[in-house]
Structure 1
Amino acid sequence: MVVTDVSRQIFVNGRFIGRPVTGVERFATMVLKEIDARAAREPLLRWEILAPAGVARPDWLDNLSFRNVGRLSGHPWEQTELFWSSRSGTLVNLCNSGPVLCGRQLAVIHDALVYRHPENFSRSYGTIHRLLGRLLARRAHLATVSEFSRRELSGLLGVDPATIAIVPNGVDHVAAIEPDPSVLDRFNLAGRRFFLFVGSPAPNKNLARAVRSFLALDRSDVSFVIVGSAAATFARSDLGTLPATVVATGRLTDGQVLALYRSALALVFPSLYEGFGIPPLEAMSVGCPVLASDIPPVREICADAALYFDPRNEGAMADAMRRCADGAFDADALRAAGHLRTNAFSWAASADRLIEALQPLAAPGRIPVSSP
């Protein structure tokens, strides 16, 4: 276990609390839950979560301090009231943003998607977050979740990669989830074989190609299940009338998603761009084989525990699904490799890496500012 220097109060940007849970919010919550558990054993671990007015103390927080500050919300709160309230210590930002005036802070930027795929975002969101990233690169110590994202951010923001810490995601949160198999009856999946997609309809997720690849199989004995906000998008997609074998569930509870992982033939993870990729690890942790894009960040996370395909080649994607449906690959070997791979990712290790990343900020004095 890494023990932090407690010579300075650590504040945490709690703006993410209460938002819908995506990968970024999952990361922030699980790392803080681990820090919170340690605070019971280390009374000198002085962390306080600061949140906007009206945000309730989360029920998973037992030991760390929590305080509502200011009257604003969103970016105005973060850039002014959060900055003012945290000025006496070190600020930790876990979700891609932070107050640019703060001279002693760590900012976790999860990926370079806002630079590489600006079409994923509204003009205002993209403009704000690209500017925030460039300013934080000059004002803050940076961290990210993978070696791939470190290389991306280093090149795009002009920061020495050696100064960007890596704090990866974990996967052991899955063990605490109670599966809810009622979801299988709800969507008429009980006893059926199906592929599973978990994610958003964002262009980088490549969902349309995955659906077209599945439809090219022209099979009635296998379904393709889409979990997430992608459901509404596909209800009005340009793919035409989708057959009953394509099932869009909308957002589900963690327990329902876990039940689908456990019953699926495989998770299909067709992304064109990722900073990390939590769904493949979640699937592996419960023995669900993974069919995944052959792109660097996914290779970094999954290693030899996935069956890879070219995400821009619909024929290759369809062939991977066909092989899986026909049992034409060693699924047991892939499951075994997946279980071994998940051992490399724990939230305890992530908390250790976060605390290590804070060490340069622990001692009094001015922190170095990156070159423009």
Structure 2
Amino acid sequence: MQTVFINGRFLTQPISGVQRYAQEIVTALDALAGDGALPARYVLLTPPGARTLPLRHIETQTIGKRAGHYWDQVDYARAASRGTALCLAMTGPVALRRQVVVIHDAAVQRHPEHFSKPYVFAHSWLDRLLARRAVVATVSEFSRRELADVLPVAAKDIVVAPNGAEHLSITPDAGVVERLGLTKGGYFLTLGNLTRNKNLAVALRALARLQPGSAKLVAVGRMDRSVFGSAGLPEPGADVLLPGRLDDAEVAGLMQGARALIFPSIYEGFGIPPLEAFVNECPVLASTAPAVQEVCGDAADYFEPHDDATLARLMQMLLDDHDGEVRRERLAKGRQRVARYTWRGSAQILADACAKVAAR
């Protein structure tokens, strides 16, 4: 039986969208293995000090003494050369040809101003090398087109395995609303770390256009200005709460109590938060970033990424929705939309891609 070695370096990194994707895909692969639906043996390889996942059917092995990219290129590459490599978090060993690598977007190439110069340099050449050697997978049709445009790989050869949202279909922590001093329906929510791409600034400007005290904005995510800089943000006012990172149950609780999720990203390869909001019966106000429109379809209301006036108008529309008619319509469309995306389905797509690589 062939063996697929999963790159587990993502378990040493803080959890954001890429790490969430990797974690949920591995969990779904574990379930598929338990159902006997995988044609190969799967092993999760991790560096020393990595977090653990509660897997029942996929073996976890800690290997090597290195960390970071050195672990990828040396320790993991050596171990994975005995089978097929599956790398879920943007990078992989350039020496291997029997591998599937998920590159989530072309943000480094399209928006280098959002990253440090060393990061742009490293990923620019790394992505090109991987595109020549590995089977590239990504998370949306938009990202497939983007990657084909900036890397030496044809769009038809890129596998699309989208995100899901089942992980947030959980029992919510409803008490988080009260703990944060909020009232149900009295606030809007954003999710994402403090980076320029996440574009929290437009949400802050839109809030400032509303009548003072009419609503609050809760911005959940890592807000360490020493790491991310100011990100071009205006100073948050009294109606803005920055609770930092919260666990999944708290996020679900906030979504279920929010007037809407605001998702103002300038550029995304996919964008999981709108799907998470749909799962938790939360309307979505989203930017017109192409991947976001692909995912949300007609279930969201849209604004241009820097158009705070339109965003403020949409926020006021939901605040004025006293009979809940607009909300009910949006939630019905959201339920239809989220049904299109599952972690299990995407895990099966990647397993099929690995099987083709192994056979080849």
Is residue 124 from structure 1 mapped to residue 118 from structure 2 by the alignment?
Answer: yes
Is residue 48 from structure 1 mapped to residue 43 from structure 2 by the alignment?
Answer: yes
Structure 1 counterpart of 2:29, from 28, 31, 35: 35
Any stretches of 5+ residues in structure 2 without a counterpart?
none
Structure 1 counterpart of 2:309, from 300, 305, 315: 315
Is residue 144 from structure 1 mapped to residue 138 from structure 2 by the alignment?
Answer: yes
- 1:165-176 to structure 2, matched below 5 A, reads 165-175=159-169
Give the CA deviation at 1:347. Answer: 1.1
Q: Which amino acid aligns with 2:129?
A: L
Is residue 256 from structure 1 mapped to residue 234 from structure 2 by the alignment?
Answer: no
Q: Distance in 2 between matches of 1:238 and 1:49?
A: 39
Q: How many residues align?
A: 356
Is the deviation greater in 234-243 or in 277-286?
234-243
CA deviations 1:22-73 (Å, max 9, x no partner) are: 11111111111111122223286401111113335x2421111111111111
Secondary structure class of the residue paired with 1:283:
helix
Q: Which amino acid aligns with 1:181?
A: A
8 Å Cα contact 1:146/1:166 also seen in 2 = yes
8 Å Cα contact 2:4/2:41 also seen in 1 = yes
Structure 2 counterpart of 1:210, from 178, 203, 226: 203
Q: Distance in 1 between matches of 2:171 and 2:224?
A: 24
Q: Which amino acid aligns with 1:296?
A: P
Is residue 348 from structure 1 mapped to residue 339 from structure 2 by the alignment?
Answer: no
Is residue 335 from structure 1 mapped to residue 331 from structure 2 by the alignment?
Answer: yes
Structure 2 CA distance for partners of 1:200 and 1:162, relative to 1, 3 Å: same
CA deviations 1:81-131 (Å, max 9, x no partner) are: 111111111100000000000111110000111111112222222211121
- 1:49-64 to structure 2, matched below 5 A, reads 49-55=44-50, 58-64=52-58
Q: Distance in 1 between matches of 2:182 and 2:144?
A: 40
Q: Distance in 1 between matches of 2:165 and 2:191?
A: 15
Give the CA deviation at 1:202. Answer: 1.3
Q: Distance in 1 between matches of 2:266 and 2:112?
A: 14
Q: Which amino acid aligns with 2:327?
A: A
Q: Distance in 2 between matches of 1:55 and 1:20?
A: 11
User: In the alignment, which residue of structure 1 is the partner of 2:261?
Assistant: 267
Q: Which amino acid aligns with 2:3?
A: Q
Q: Distance in 2 between matches of 1:359 and 1:161?
A: 20
Give the CA deviation at 1:17. Answer: 1.2
Is residue 306 from structure 1 mapped to residue 300 from structure 2 by the alignment?
Answer: yes
TM-score, with length taken from structure 1:
0.91
Secondary structure class of the residue paired with 1:354:
helix
8 Å Cα contact 1:231/1:249 also seen in 2 = no
Give identity over the alignment, percent: 41
Secondary structure class of the residue paired with 2:153:
coil
Q: Distance in 2 between matches of 1:130 and 1:96?
A: 12
CA deviations 1:256-313 (Å, max 9, x no partner) are: 1111000000001111110001000000111100001122111110011001112222
Is residue 159 from structure 1 mapped to residue 172 from structure 2 by the alignment?
Answer: no
Q: Which amino acid aligns with 2:349?
A: R
8 Å Cα contact 1:231/1:248 also seen in 2 = no
CA deviations 1:231-250 (Å, max 9, x no partner) are: 75799676665332111111
User: In the alignment, which residue of structure 2 is the partner of 1:194?
Assistant: 187
Q: Distance in 1 between matches of 2:47 and 2:257?
A: 40
Q: Distance in 2 between matches of 1:249 and 1:41?
A: 40
8 Å Cα contact 2:189/2:254 also seen in 1 = yes
Q: Distance in 1 between matches of 2:30 and 2:162?
A: 18
